[in-house]
Every structure is written in structure tokens, then in C-alpha cells.
Amino acid sequence: MTQAATRSLFDSLVFDNRFLRELPADPEPDNYRRQVYQACYSFVNPTPVPQPRLVAHSEELAAELGFSPDMCASDEFCAIFAGNRLLPGMQGYACCYGGHQFGHWAGQLGDGRVVNLGELVNKDGAYYTLQLKGAGLTPYSRSADGLAVLRSSIREFICSEAMHHLGVPTTRALTVIGSGQPVRRDMFYDGNPEWEPGAIVCRVAPSFTRFGSFQIFTARNDAATLKQLVDYTIRRDFPHLGEPGPETYRAWFEEVCRKTAELIVHWQRVGFVHGVMNTDNMSILGLTIDFGPYGWLENYDPNWTPNTTDAQGRRYRYGHQPKIAYWNLVQLANALLPIIPSVESLQQALDTCYGEAFDQGWRKMMASKLGLREYLEQSDTSLLDDTLMIDDLSQLLQNCETDMTLFYRGLADISPHTPAADFLAWFSACCYLNLSVAQRHSAKVWLQRYQQRLRHDPLTLEARKTLMHSVNPLYTPRNYLAQLVIDEAASGDFGMLREWLRVLRHPYTEQPGRERFAAKRPDWAKHRAGCSMLSCSS
């Protein structure tokens, strides 16, 4: 394809980089590691790679952004999202932000291996920031190399696209590009680094602004830049709240709290464990952001975290995510004190717009997962108290090492009249343990409570099953399947990756012939590296 033809092919794309136009830039043009003050970003271009190869792309997202099939099939498409070429209107930059990591202030962090390409405006007038992860050194790289490896890039691509189709608020992934460049990584921080295939992911979101984007300026007593960023964020991403001002600031923080509550409810619903909920990994838009050492609950365990760095304290374990989100919002509230000096109004937003909103959302979500029209509390009889029933269920699932996804999906087939023997046979098949007599008894007792509750619920069997199948997925990005895909991809075989992506586009629909993508974790994967625990190394 000639250069002129290529230019014509991509001429329809429009970039309008408001972030760069309206916020202060780092005045230093050179790309070297440093502390950046009174600036929201630094100009930097991606580092070209030697042999880019398209591993996978999201057809739906490409179409939404305005990339035609011909564009996606071109060599130029691969070159652009490898970082080897910029389109007219693109401008490379890396963002400055800070954050609390594992509960401690870490100072300046920033886009250490991310280069933003600019803001693409699609045919509907929607803005999307495109960024390349693994695109080389930036002023925020600290002691790292700015690169990423194929295994983590595939994991990020799979999970972000799966989350979208699961209905979980998330950033997206447009492409995974193999770089043709080996990258040295010590996967388990045990002094045994290895060379791995390198890769770049193109991540997409309306905005990648984080809690830490605001924290850095307050930590440096830079109230002027803080206000600039808040005002820009409100005008750009929350225009319905009106022009920035004292009342709008409060309304904005309240909305951030609500969006965060909604996000965490979704995480708990599908069994997603982020693994590294630092404040720099929390989106101001309530999106799932920064897929690092994440994982999915296979056997139900509220104390599980996939992150080896967090193995001892388990700060970011599944059952603790709602409290961590609140703690992170408190840190954001502290950062906003220069423009919202009322501690009382901030606390009220935390208590009501996050605390109460999460509780209400969680109860509604759990009622749906169990096939109930509404969540009942403080009933005259304990048999109809959903809090007690769910507490008992949580303990049962944990004690029996029950596959969370398969249990809730199959529960739709349990009716008020299902015999206990049939229930126990099905329940046993969902568990990773051989059930003891006591465990089988506990399961039978819970069944009796659940069936009693169903008899007092007005939903028909058909309506109940439809409701449950709309919130309980059959297909999730299971940890061991991700590792199998990575193993094949490392040898240059991307067939399983592409097939699995097709399955994950319809996670609530049974797909005959693809049962293996919904199967329980095999025994060999329980403790295998990449299937149970992961490090932050990528």
C-alpha cells in the first residue's frame, strides 16, 4: 500500500486533544526521568519497535472508534498501535500523578510506561483517549524500562474486553501488538529474571484521570494546578453538573462516590479481584483501570488476592474491596480540601453517596443473583431474612471451596421443589472438595431456607431464571484459561486467544461446543504460576 493510499485510508479520523490544550504542560522537552512540577503531563513519543505484529484487536471497539475493517487489516494500523507511527492530530504525552500504594503515600508516580496518543472523536462526537502501554521510557519511568511483556498484555486485553461484555464499567483495549523485542522480567521477584516476548496494548477510555491525578498537586501544595484539573474534569467529563464552583465541586465528589460504589458492586457480582487497588489505579469515572495482577474467584474465598506482593497482608483481597474503595475515596477527599474546605460535606458524601449507595446496590445485586424480586430484611421469621441466608451461603461456599461462577449460574435451575438429593449432587459437582457429611448437611439446611424464601417470592420460575441469567455469567476470564492462552501465544499460536475472545463477547449466553471455557479449574492449575498468584511484574 502506498503512503498516499494509507493517508487517504485514515483521513476520516479526527483528533481533538483538549487535555493538552487546556491543562499545563511540563516545559522540559527532553525525555529523562525526573520530578515534574505544576504540570499535568509531559510531551513524549512512543519508542519504535523492530518487528510489530498484530496479535489481536477488538472489532467492536474499532468500529465504535471509526476504524474500518480495511484500516484494521492494514500494515499502517499495526505500525500506529505499535508506536512506530503517529497519525496527523496525534500528540504523544505521559501524565503526571501520584498515589497511595498499599496504604502508603508513594509520591510522584505517573505514566511510567504509557504514552497517550491523543483524544479521538468518533462520528457521534464522543471523545476517547488512546494510550499505548509498554511504549517505552517516559519522564515518570523511575527505575523501570517502560516496556511490557506479552503475557501481561494479553491478560489486560482479555480482561478489559471481557469486563465490557459482562456489563462492568471498564477501560477498553483496542489492540495487542507483539513488539518483536525481548523484555527481561523477574516474574516472582526471586532473583531469576528471564527474557520474555515484548508487547504493547492500546488502551481506550473517555478519560484515564485517577484519584492520584489530584492527590499529587495537593501533596505539593499546588492548589492552582489542582483547581485547573478539577475544573477541566468537570467541564470535560461531568458537564451535566454545570460550571465549576463550590456547589458543583461538592456535587462532583458525590457523583464520583456513587460511580465508585456502582463499580465495586459489579466487581463483587462477577468475582473480580483487582489485586492492586492503589489510589493511582482508581478511575475518577468509576471505571476498572490498570489490569495488573488481577484474578477471578474460582473457588469462593473472600480472603483471596491474586497479588504475590500482597500475599501477607491481603489488603486487596476480594472481600475487602468495598472497604478499600471507601479508604481510597477518603484520600481523594483529603486531596480536594483546598477547593472543598467543608469536611462535613465531604464526610456526608462518603457516608451516603458511597456507603449507603454501596449497601443498597449490593443488596439489590445479591437479590438478583439469587433470583429474588427484592431483598428482605428484619423479617418476622429468620427463614425470610435475606441477610442471614446470604451470610450462611457465603460461609457454605467458602467451607466447601465452591466454584462461584458455576454455583450462581446453576442455581437458576434449583426450584422450590427440587429434591435435596438432586441439589446435593449438583452442588457437589460445583465444589473443589469431596464434601464431608457435615458439609452436605449444611448444604441441605441452606437449601431448605432458600426454598422457603423462594415460595414467598412473587417471581415466576421463568422470570426468576431470566433475571439470574442476566447477572450470573457462565463465562468469565478464568485464571487458568488465561495462562493456557499465554502459553500458546508465547509460541506464536493465537488461535485459542481469538476463540476465547469470541466466547467472552457473550458471557451470559450458553454456547454449545464451548463448554471447556466454562469448566472448573483443573487440579494442576490450583498452585501453578500464573493460575493462582501473580506479581506486579509485567
Among residues 162, 189, 211, the one where a domain terminates is 211
What does pLDDT average to over the chain? Answer: 95
Q: Are 87 and 15 in contact (CB under 8 A)?
A: yes
The reply to whether 253 falls in a domain is yes
Examine residue 229 and state whether it is found in any structural domain, yes or no. no
Do both 409 and 490 map to the same domain? no
Average pLDDT, integer, range 171-197: 89
Q: Is residue 470 part of a domain?
A: no
Is 487 a residue of the active site?
A: no
Task: Report the distance separating Cα 61 and Cα 43, nearest Å.
Answer: 27
pLDDT at 531: 78
Identify the burial level of 188 via C-beta atoms within 10 angstroms of its C-beta, where 0-12 means exposed, 13-18 middle and 19 or more buried.
middle
Looking at the structure, tell me whether residues 267 and 170 fall in a common domain: no
Q: Which stretches of 218-274 are assigned E, i.e. beta strand?
A: 272-273
pLDDT for the residue 185: 87
State the pLDDT at residue 378.
67
pLDDT of residue 377: 82
CA-to-CA distance for 497 and 161, rounded, in angstroms?
Answer: 12
Domain membership of residue 220 (yes or no) is no
Q: Is 50 exceeded by the pLDDT of residue 59?
A: yes
Tens digit of each residue's pLDDT (9 = 90 or more) over 108-155: 999 999 999 999 999 999 999 999 999 999 999 999 999 999 999 999
- Per-residue model confidence as pLDDT tens digits over 404-445: 999 999 999 999 999 999 999 999 999 999 999 999 999 999
Flag whether 230 is in a domain: no
User: Model confidence over 459-468: pLDDT tens digits?
Assistant: 999 999 999 9
Out of 369, 393, 408, a domain closes at 369
Point out the least confidently predicted range of 205-209, 309-313, 449-453: 309-313
The answer, as to whether pTM is greater than 0.85, is yes
Pairing of strands 295-296, 194-205: unpaired
Q: For the segment 237-252, what is each residue's pLDDT rounded down to a tens digit?
A: 999 999 999 999 999 9
What are the pLDDT digits (tens) for 363-372?
999 999 999 9
| Torsion over CA: 338, 341, 343, 347 (sign) | negative
Residue 362 counted as domain residue:
yes
Are residues 345 and 386 both part of a single domain?
A: no
Do 84 and 12 sit in the same domain of this protein?
yes
Same domain assignment for residues 12 and 145: yes
Residues 513, 490 share a domain: yes
Q: Which three cell numbers stand for residue 180?
A: 518483536
Residues of the chain with pLDDT > 90: what percent?
90
Q: What is the mean pLDDT of residues 102-110?
A: 98
418 and 505: one domain?
A: no
Residue 538: the pLDDT is 55
pLDDT tens, position by position, 312-338: 999 999 999 999 999 999 999 999 999
Q: Which three cell numbers stand for residue 337?
A: 480540601
Kindly give, in sequence order, each residue whose CB lies less than 8 Å from that of residue 501, ignoring residues fewer than 6 positions away: 56, 158, 161
- Residues 141 and 281 both lie in one domain: no
CB count in 10 Å sphere of residue 455:
11
| Sign of torsion over alpha carbons 475, 479, 481, 486 | positive
Q: Is 468 contained in some domain?
A: no
Range of the domain at 492: 479-525
- Do 22 and 144 lie in one domain? The reply is yes
The region of weakest confidence among 28-32, 87-91, 273-277, 488-492 is 488-492
Is residue 361 domain-shared with residue 285, that is, in the same domain?
yes
Q: Is residue 439 domain-shared with residue 325, that is, in the same domain?
A: no
Give me the pLDDT at residue 65, please.
97
Residue 1 confidence (pLDDT): 37
399: its cell numbers: 467451607
**In the chain, how many domains are there?**
4
Residues 51 and 188 occupy one common structural domain: yes
Cα separation, 306 vs 276, in Å, equals 9
End of a domain among 196, 211, 226? 211
In the chain, the amino acid numbered 206 is P
State the DSSP H helix or E strand holding residue 95, giving kind and residue range, or none if neither.
strand 93-95
Q: For residue 74, is pLDDT > 80?
A: yes
Mention every residue, 6+ apart, whose C-beta is less than 8 A from residue 332: 211, 214, 215, 253, 256, 279, 282
Active-site entry in 26, 111, 280, 310: 280
